[in-house]
C-alpha cells in the first residue's frame, strides 16, 4: 500500500522526522484517520542492511551532515564535527537506541519546585505531571513491547557482564538492580522475535527484537492508507501566511530538487539539534528570530544528560560483547538527594562496547594512544563497563545556533552545538566515578578507566514545554505557544532531562500529542 | 509566501560528492585528528628512504604497542596503505617526509641518536608525545585505529568475537556464564 498525497494538498499533517517522536505521531494519527506525510532526511534501510559491525554501521546510519561542537566539553576538541551520535535514516535514532525504557520519576517533572532556583541553571517545572503522563506511559510500553508489569513480558535474562555489575553493586550495598525495563522482546511479540543475545543492539537490531519505528510504527502507519513516507527528503524551511499560521514546508527531495508540501499542521520531530535549527532557519519578516521563538528559547537549554563511561579489567573473563548492549540497570542513585553534593540523580547502565569502539573511546581524541591504551585493549575479554546517565540541568548558554558562514550541503547555515557542564553535572559525574570505583574494587579490579562523555545520543530541551509562554517554546501539548498549528514532537520538548533515557517519554508524549491534535482538528480548532 | 527565500523546483544539493566527503572527514574526526593548518604541499617531495620507512614502522608499533600479541604485518599494512596514498598525493608525501624529518631532529636533539635507536620504549613514547597533535602523527594513529582494532582478522587475538547473528547469537552459547566471583 503506497498512498500518495498531492504537494498542494493542504489538509495533511506534515511530520518532519521518523524517529521515536515522528514515527509514533505518524502511526497514532494514521490509526485515527488523520492524513499525514512523513518527510525523512535519511534513506530507508531494511534488516538486510544491518550488520554486526560497529564502524560499518556507524557510517551507514549516523547523522554526519556538517555540524560543529562548541563550548567547554571535551568534544569541542575531541569530536569537533560530531557533537551528537544520532541517526540519519528512516526510523531515526530508534534504529540506534539500546532499548532502555525507564519512566520519569514524579519529582523529575518538578525540578524547580523540588530544588528551587539553581544558580547558573534555567530550571523550570514541566507543565505536566507524572499522573497526567502515566496512562500514556502504559500505552507506550504496550506499543513498544517493554518488559515489565504493563506488558507482562519478563525482563531479559542476566548476561555474564550484567552479573558482574550486579554483584559489585550488591557488595557496596545497592539493591535496585534489574535487567529492565527494556523495549526488547524477551519472548516473541507483535510479530517480532525474541532477543537472541546477539549484541550490537546499537548498530540496529538484526532481528527486529528491539522496538524501532522502522519496522513497527512506520509500516503500520502506511498500512492504514492514511500516511505517505518520503525518504531522502530534507526539510529546509517551514512557511507561514500573513496571519502567522504555518502553511507547509519546503524540502529538498531525493533528487536534490526543492519541493513545497502544503500542510494543515506541521509536527517537527528532527531531534534536538535539527528541530530548533529548522525553526531558526525559517525566520521571516514576521518572525525575525525564527518560528515559535517569541520567548527567545528556541535552541536554548540544550541538554544531553550528564554522561560518562567507566570500564575496568576484571580478575576473570567477562566477554562483555556476548549479549544485549545494555544488559541491565542499577538505580540506587537515581533519586534526588542534594546531600550528595548535587541535585537530581543518575543511573548506572551496563554498556558493552566492541573492540572497535572501545579503542576509539577508552581515551578519546588525539591523545588516546600509547602502551596504557593498547595494554588495556589486550585485556578486552576481561573488561566490563557501564554508561553513567544522569540528569543534566538546563542552561541557556547551552544551545544550538546557526553558523555565521558555514553552510550544509543544502546551502543552509550549519548548526553549532554549545555544551558546557554545570558544576552540578561535574559533581554528579565525580560521584558516579567514585561509586563505580567502589563497585569494581569490590570485585578485585584495580585497573579502571574513566571515560568522558561520548558524542550525545540523548539530546533534549531545545524547544521546551513551559507553563508560561515567556519561559519556553511549547505548551503542555507540545504545541507552539505562538503558532497553534505548529507542534514539536521529539525530545526537544523536554522541560528537564530527568535521569531516564528519553525514548519512552518521547513516545508517551507523542501518543498524547496525537490524541490532542486529532481532537483539535476534528473540532475545527486547528 | 511570506518567509521563504527558496524557490521550489531548483536543485538544493550543492555538490554530488559532498556527503561522501563529509562522511569520510567525520569518520576521521571521530578518531579526532585536530584541525591543524596543513603544511603547503610540495609537488617535488622526495620518496621516503628505506630508513625512513623503518622509522614509520617503529612509530606505528610505538603508537599502539602489542609486543607479544602482534607481529609487524598488521602495522606494516597500515604504513604501506599510507605510502601508497603518498604516491598519488603530494600532500601526504610531504606530510610523511617532513614528519619523519621532524621526528628525527627531535630524537637527535634529546638523545643524540635516530628515533629507532632510542632503546627505551617510554623514551620513544615521550618523543612521540611531543608531536602527537600533528597531522603527521594523527594520520598514522587514525590508520592504526582502524587497521588494528577494526580488523576482523585480528579480533580473535584480542578475544573479541565480532559478528554473531549468523550463528544465532549467544543465547545458547553461554552468554550468562560466569564463575570467578
* The domain boundary residue, chosen from A455, A477, A504: A455
* A293 and A381 together in one domain: no
A117 to each of A108, A383, A409, A466, A525, how far by Cα in Å?
15, 41, 42, 16, 37
B-proximal residues of A, 279-338, CB under 8 Å: 282-287, 314-319, 321-323
Q: Which residues of B fall within a CB distance of 8 Å from A359?
A: 145, 148-150
From residue A278, how far is each of A60, A132, A274, A299, A414 by CA, in Å? Answer: 24, 30, 6, 10, 11
Out of A455, A479, A500, a domain closes at: A455
How far off is chain B from A320, nearest CA to CA, in Å?
A: 9
Q: Which three cell numbers stand for residue A379?
A: 585485556
ipTM reported for the complex surpasses 0.90: yes
Cα gap B161→B175, rounded to integer Å: 12
Which CATH number do you get for residue A174? 3.30.410.10
Mean pLDDT of chain A: 97
In a domain, A249, yes or no: yes
- The residue extents of the domains of chain B are 37-152
- Examine the domain organization and report whether A360 and A415 are in the same domain: no
Alpha carbon of B120: minimum distance to chain A alpha carbons (Å): 13
Average pLDDT for residues A95-120, to the nearest whole number?
98
End-to-end CA distance of chain A: 29
In chain A, what residues touch B165 (CB-CB under 8 Å)? 52, 196, 198, 200, 206-207
- Assess contact for A493 and A508: CB atoms under 8 A: no
Statement to judge: residues A448 and A510 lie in one domain: no
Q: What are B151-177's pLDDT values in tens digits?
A: 999 999 999 999 999 999 999 999 999
Cell 581515551 belongs to A363
- Which residues between 118 and 157 in chain B have a beta carbon less than 8 angstroms from any beta carbon of chain A? 121-122, 125, 132-133, 137-138, 141, 145-146, 148-150, 155
Q: Do B165 and A157 touch (CB under 8 A)?
A: no
Is residue A516 in some structural domain?
yes
Closest C-alpha to A464, from A493, A498, A484, A488:
A493
The mean of the pLDDT values for chain B is 84
Q: List the single best residue of A371, A452, A453 to mutate versus B (max B Cβ within 10 A).
A: A371
Which grid coordinates belong to A307? Answer: 554522561
Q: How many CB atoms lie within 10 A of CB A82?
A: 25
Beta carbons of B65 and A374 less than 8 angstroms apart = yes
- Per cent of chain B over pLDDT 70 is 75
Q: How confident is the model at residue A117 (pLDDT cuts 50, 70, 90)?
A: very high
Task: Report the side by side order of strands in the sheet with A383-390.
Answer: A177-178, A329-330, A346-350, A383-390, A306-313, A447-451
d(C-alpha B173, C-alpha A475), whole Å: 51
The reply to whether A1 falls in a domain is no
The yes-or-no verdict on residue A303 having pLDDT over 80 is yes
Q: Using an 8 Å Cβ cutoff, are A168 and A442 in contact? A: yes
Distance CA A146, CA A180 (A): 8
Contact A343, A121 (CB under 8 A): no
Say if residue A174's pLDDT is above 50: yes
What is the average pLDDT across A182-206? 98
Q: Are B8 and A258 in contact (CB under 8 A)?
A: yes
What pLDDT is attached to residue B47? 80
CA B28-A312-A389 angle, to 5 degrees, is 70
List chain B residues with CB under 8 Å of A374: 64-66
Could you check whether the bond before residue A345 is cis, i.e. omega within 30 degrees of 0?
no
From B152, B7, B176, select the one nearest A322 (Cα to Cα). B176
The Cα–Cα gap between A328 and A403 comes to 40
DSSP secondary-structure letter at A488? E
Cα gap A108→A496, rounded to integer Å:
7
Question: Span A240-268, mean pLDDT?
Answer: 98
**Which of A257, A360, A407 is facing B145, going by the closest CB pair?**
A360
Contact B176 A160 (CB under 8 A): yes
Residue contact B158–A381, C-beta within 8 A: yes
Q: Would you say residue B28 has pLDDT above 80?
A: no
Cell of A206: 538484526
Closest CA to A355 of A328, A321, A388: A321
β-pair partners for A312 = A384, A448
Task: Tell me which H or E stretch contains A486.
Answer: strand A486-488
Same domain, A198 and A244: no
The H-or-E segment that residue A21 falls in is: helix A20-31
Instruction: For residues A42-61, give the mean pLDDT.
Output: 97
Q: Is A120 on the interface with B (CB under 8 A)?
A: no
Nearest residue on chain A to B151, alpha-carbon basis: A356
For residue B109, is pLDDT > 90? yes
If asked whether residues A327 and A256 sit together in one domain, one would say: no
Residue range A360-383, pLDDT digits in tens: 999 999 999 999 999 999 999 999
Chain A partners of B170 at a C-beta cutoff of 8 Å?
Answer: 196-199, 322-323
Average pLDDT of A375-393?
Answer: 98
Can you give the pLDDT at residue B174? 93
Residue-level length of chain B: 181
What lies within 8 Å, CB to CB, of A431 at 6+ separation is A333, A340, A341, A342
Return all residues near B153 (Cβ < 8 A) that are at least 6 apart. Answer: B74
Q: Is B68 on the interface with A (CB under 8 A)?
A: no
DSSP per-residue string spanning A418-433? E----HHHHHHHHHHH
Domain assignment of residue A160, yes or no: yes
Q: Which residue has the cell 628525527?
A: B104
| Chains A–B, number of C-beta pairs less than 8 Å apart | 220
Q: For cell 604516491, what's the residue?
A: B87
Short-list A290, A470, A491, A299, CA closest to A398: A299
In 3D space, the residue among A341, A380, A332 whose CA is nearest the CA of residue A357 turns out to be A380
C-alpha cell belonging to residue A390: 544522569
Phi, psi angle pair for A447, to nearest 5°: -105, 95
Residue A317 DSSP symbol = -
Residues A184, A137, single domain; the answer is no
Question: Quick one: A376 and A338 in the same domain?
Answer: yes
The residues near B53 (Cβ < 8 Å, ≥ 6 apart) are B79, B83
Sign of CA dihedral A85, A88, A89, A92: positive
**Which residues, listed in sequence order, are joined to residue A248 by a DSSP beta bridge?**
A239, A262
Q: A136 with A255, same domain?
A: yes
pLDDT digits (tens, 9 = 90+) for A427-441: 999 999 999 999 999
Q: Which residues of B touch A59 (CB under 8 A)?
A: 23, 27
Q: Tell me, what's the pLDDT at B43?
A: 46
**Within this chain, do residues A451 and A380 fall inside the same structural domain, yes or no?**
yes
What domain range includes position A129?
6-97+103-146+212-303+396-419+459-526
Handedness of CA B76, B78, B80, B83 (dihedral sign): negative
Together in a domain, A76 and A138? yes
Query: Any CB–CB contact under 8 A between B111 and chain A?
Result: no
CATH number at residue A505: 3.50.50.60
Percent of chain A scoring above 70 in pLDDT: 100
> Looking at the structure, do residues A139 and A64 belong to the same domain, yes or no?
yes
Q: Phi and psi of A29, rounded to 5°?
A: -70, -45
Chain A residues with CB under 8 Å of B9 CB are 257-259
Predicted local distance difference test score (pLDDT) of residue A2: 83
> Above 90 in pLDDT, residue A226?
yes
Residue B30: pLDDT above 70? no
Question: Which of helix, strand or coil describes residue A154?
Answer: coil
Q: Is the pLDDT of residue B31 over 80?
A: no
pLDDT for the residue A25: 98
Please write the tens of the pLDDT for every residue from B47-99: 899 999 999 999 999 999 999 999 999 999 999 999 999 999 999 999 999 99
Candidate from A53, A66, A364 with C-beta closest to B32 = A364
**Would you state the pLDDT for residue B167?**
96
Residue B21 has pLDDT above 60, yes or no: no
Residue B20 forms contact with A (CB below 8 Å)? no
CA distance A106 to B29: 40
How many distinct structural domains can be found in chain A? 2
Per-residue pLDDT at B9: 60
Helix, strand, coil percentages in chain A from 3-state DSSP, rounded to 5: 30, 20, 50
In contact, B139 and A299? CB cutoff 8 Å? no
pLDDT at A4 over 80: yes
Helix or strand run (H / E) with residue A228: strand A227-230
DSSP string covering A42-105, please? S----GGG--S-HHHHHHHHB--SS-EEESSSTHHHHSTT-SB--B-STTGGGTT---B-PPPP
**Same domain, residue pair A319 and A335:** yes
Bridge partners for A57 per DSSP? none
Banded pLDDT at B27 (limits 50, 70, 90): very low
- Positive or negative torsion for Cα A367, A435, A108, A101: positive
In this predicted structure, the answer to whether residue B115 has a pLDDT above a threshold of 60 is yes
CA-to-CA distance for A73 and A416, rounded, in angstroms? 13
Cell of B77: 599494512
What is the pLDDT averaged over residues A298-311? 98
pLDDT at B7: 55
Amino acid at each position: 500500500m503506497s498512498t500518495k498525497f498531492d504537494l498542494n494538498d493542504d489538509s495533511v499533517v506534515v511530520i518532519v522526522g521518523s524517529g521515536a517522536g515522528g514515527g509514533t505521531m505518524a502511526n497514532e494519527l494514521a490509526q485515527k484517520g488523520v492524513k499525514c506525510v512523513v518527510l525523512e532526511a535519511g534513506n530507508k534501510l531494511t534488516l538486510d542492511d544491518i550488520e554486526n559491525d560497529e564502524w560499518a554501521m556507524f557510517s551507514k546510519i549516523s547523522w554526519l551532515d556538517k555540524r560543529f561542537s562548541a563550548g567547554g566539553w571535551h568534544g569541542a576538541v575531541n569530536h569537533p564535527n560530531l557533537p551528537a551520535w544520532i541517526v540519519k535514516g528512516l526510523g531515526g535514532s530508534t534504529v540506534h537506541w539500546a532499548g532502555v525504557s525507564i519512566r520519569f520519576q514524579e519529582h523529575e517533572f518538578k525540578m524547580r519546585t523540588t530544588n528551587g532556583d539553581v544558580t547558573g541553571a534555567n530550571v523550570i517545572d514541566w507543565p505536566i505531571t507524572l499522573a497526567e503522563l502515566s496512562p500514556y506511559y502504559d500505552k507506550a510500553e504496550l506499543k513498544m513491547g517493554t518488559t515489565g508489569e504493563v506488558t507482562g513480558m519478563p525482563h531479559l535474562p542476566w548476561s555474564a557482564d550484567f552479573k558482574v555489575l550486579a554483584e559489585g553493586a550488591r557488595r557496596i550495598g545497592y539493591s535496585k538492580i534489574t535487567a529492565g525495563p527494556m523495549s526488547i522482546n524477551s519472548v516473541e511479540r507483535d510479530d517480532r522475535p525474541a532477543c537472541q543475545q546477539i549484541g550490537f543492539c546499537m548498530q540496529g537490531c538484526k532481528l527486529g527484537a528491539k522496538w524501532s519505528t522502522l519496522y513497527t510504527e512506520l509500516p503500520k502507519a502506511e498500512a492504514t492508507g492514511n500516511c505517505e513516507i518520503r525518504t531522502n527528503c530534507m526539510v529546509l524551511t517551514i512557511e507561514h501566511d500573513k496571519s502567522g499560521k504555518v502553511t507547509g514546508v519546503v524540502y529538498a527531495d531525493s533528487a536534490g530538487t526543492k519541493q513545497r508540501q502544503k500542510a494543515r499542521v506541521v509536527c517537527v520531530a528532527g531531534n534536538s539539534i535539527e528541530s530548533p535549527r529548522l525553526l531558526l532557519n525559517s525566520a521571516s519578516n514576521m518572525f525575525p528570530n525564527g518560528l515559535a521563538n517569541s520567548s527567545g528559547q528556541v535552541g536554548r537549554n540544550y541538554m544531553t544528560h550528564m554522561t560518562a563511561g567507566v570500564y575496568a579489567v576484571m580478575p576473570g573473563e567477562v566477554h562483555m560483547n556476548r549479549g544485549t548492549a545494555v544488559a541491565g540497570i542499577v538505580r540506587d542513585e537515581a533519586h534526588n538527594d542534594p546531600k550528595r553534593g548535587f541535585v537530581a540523580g543518575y543511573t548506572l547502565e551496563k554498556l558493552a562496547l566492541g573492540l572497535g569502539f572501545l579503542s576509539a573511546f577508552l581515551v578519546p581524541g588525539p591523545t588516546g594512544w600509547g602502551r596504557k591504551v593498547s595494554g588495556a585493549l589486550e585485556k578486552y575479554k576481561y573488561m566490563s563497563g557501564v554508561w553513567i546517565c544522569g540528569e543534566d540541568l538546563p542552561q541557556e548558554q547551552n544551545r544550538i545556533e546557526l553558523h555565521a558562514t558555514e553552510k550544509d550541503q543544502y546551502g543552509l547555515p550549519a548548526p553549532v552545538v554549545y555544551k558546557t557542564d554545570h558544576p552540578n553535572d561535574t559533581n554528579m559525574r565525580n560521584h558516579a566515578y567514585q561509586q563505580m570505583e567502589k563497585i569494581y574494587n569490590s570485585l578485585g579490579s584495580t585497573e579502571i578507566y574513566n571515560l568522558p562523555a561520548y558524542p550525545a545520543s540523548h539530546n533534549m530541551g531545545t524547544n521546551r514545554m513551559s507553563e508560561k509562554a515567556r519561559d519556553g517554546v511549547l505548551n503542555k501539548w507540545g504545541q507552539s505557544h505562538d503558532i497553534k498549528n505548529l507542534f514539536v514532537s521529539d525530545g526537544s520538548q523536554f522541560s528537564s532531562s530527568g535521569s531516564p533515557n528519553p525514548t519512552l517519554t518521547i513516545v508517551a508524549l507523542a501518543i498524547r500529542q496525537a490524541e490532542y491534535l486529532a481532537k483539535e482538528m476534528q473540532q475545527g480548532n486547528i | 509566501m511570506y518567509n521563504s527565500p527558496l524557490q521550489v523546483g531548483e536543485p538544493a544539493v550543492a555538490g554530488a560528492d559532498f556527503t561522501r566527503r563529509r562522511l569520510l572527514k567525520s569518520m576521521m574526526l571521530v578518531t579526532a585528528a585536530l584541525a591543524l593548518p596543513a603544511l603547503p604541499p610540495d609537488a617535488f617531495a622526495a620518496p621516503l628512504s628505506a630508513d625512513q620507512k623503518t622509522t614509520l614502522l617503529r612509530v606505528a608499533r610505538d603508537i599502539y604497542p602489542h609486543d607479544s600479541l602482534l607481529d609487524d604485518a598488521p602495522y606494516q599494512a597500515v604504513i604501506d596503505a599510507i605510502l601508497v596514498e603518498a604516491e598519488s598525493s603530494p600532500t601526504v608525501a610531504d606530510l610523511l617526509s617532513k614528519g619523519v624529518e621532524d621526528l628525527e631532529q627531535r630524537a637527535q636533539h634529546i638523545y643524540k641518536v635516530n628515533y629507532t635507536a632510542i632503546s627505551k620504549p617510554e623514551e620513544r613514547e615521550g618523543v612521540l608525545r611531543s608531536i602527537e597533535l600533528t597531522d603527521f602523527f594523527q594520520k598514522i594513529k587514525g590508520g592504526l585505529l582502524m587497521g588494528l582494532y577494526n580488523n576482523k582478522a585480528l579480533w580473535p587475538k584480542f578475544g573479541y568475537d565480532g559478528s554473531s547473528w549468523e550463528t544465532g547469537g549467544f543465547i545458547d552459547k553461554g552468554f550468562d556464564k560466569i564463575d570467578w566471583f
